[in-house]
Amino acid sequence: MKKAASCLTVFMMLACFQPLRAQSTGYSGRTSAVDVPFYIGFSTGINNECGLLGLNLELPLANAFSLGAGIGEGSWGYKTYGEARYYFDADKKGWALGAGLSYSTGATNVPLSLETTNSNSEKVILTLQSVTNLFFTAYKFYNLGHSGKNRFYLELGYAAPLGAAKYTVTSGQTLTQNSENVLKIISPGGLEFGLGFSFGL
């Protein structure tokens, strides 16, 4: 996990220093940050960085890098993220790679129908504790319209929890192994599948 965190740190540093490198070298083969719009959009998916449905913001930097953030609601409470992204096309379309951190707040008094040692299915009240994930993902962007500023994208990646997803059964029942497996599935982390739209402003 330390190795993955180190890779993320290097990725973020490259994204931040890219504008300075472009200014110092005078390289003009790629679009400058001034020419690229600010993006706002929404996304959905499984283990999506900002939950089952969320708002995304993206600030393009010089050349092929950008920084993004978002917030939404997922299966483990509210979810937010910060990300550095590298595009293989300076026009911010086509393929891109991203890396960042997401944070799920957890939730209290969550009612779920789960299998317990007393019943095949009954109402259980849970307290879900917060979870932080380190994620790496690949994107495929498709331009919409003649302006080229609006985009649709697909996403595939992986999120690694920085610690186990913990919960407490506050209603007193004892969960079966099947129910514990269900909670592992809905907790943050694992394969990511997403899709979304972003609009250039």
Domain locations along the chain: 2-17+34-103+131-163+189-200
CA distances to 43, 186, 196 from 87, rounded to whole Å, are 19, 31, 17
Q: Give me the CATH topology for the region 2-17+34-103+131-163+189-200.
A: Porin (2.40.160)
Q: What is the pLDDT of residues 149-200, one digit of tens each?
A: 889 999 999 999 998 889 999 999 899 999 999 999 999 999 999 999 998 8
Neighbours of 71 (CB within 10 A): 16
Ordered strands of the 107-114 beta sheet: 107-114, 122-128, 167-169
CA 84, CA 8: separation in Å to the nearest integer?
A: 9
Contact 163, 200 (CB under 8 A): no
pTM of the model: 0.77
The token pair at 144 is: 């919409």
- The residues pairing with 78 across neighbouring beta strands, listed in sequence order, are 73
pLDDT exceeds 60 at position 8: no
Tell me the average pLDDT across 22-39: 48
pLDDT band at 106 (very low <50, low <70, confident <90, very high): very high
- The residues pairing with 193 across neighbouring beta strands, listed in sequence order, are 46, 156
66, amino acid identity: S
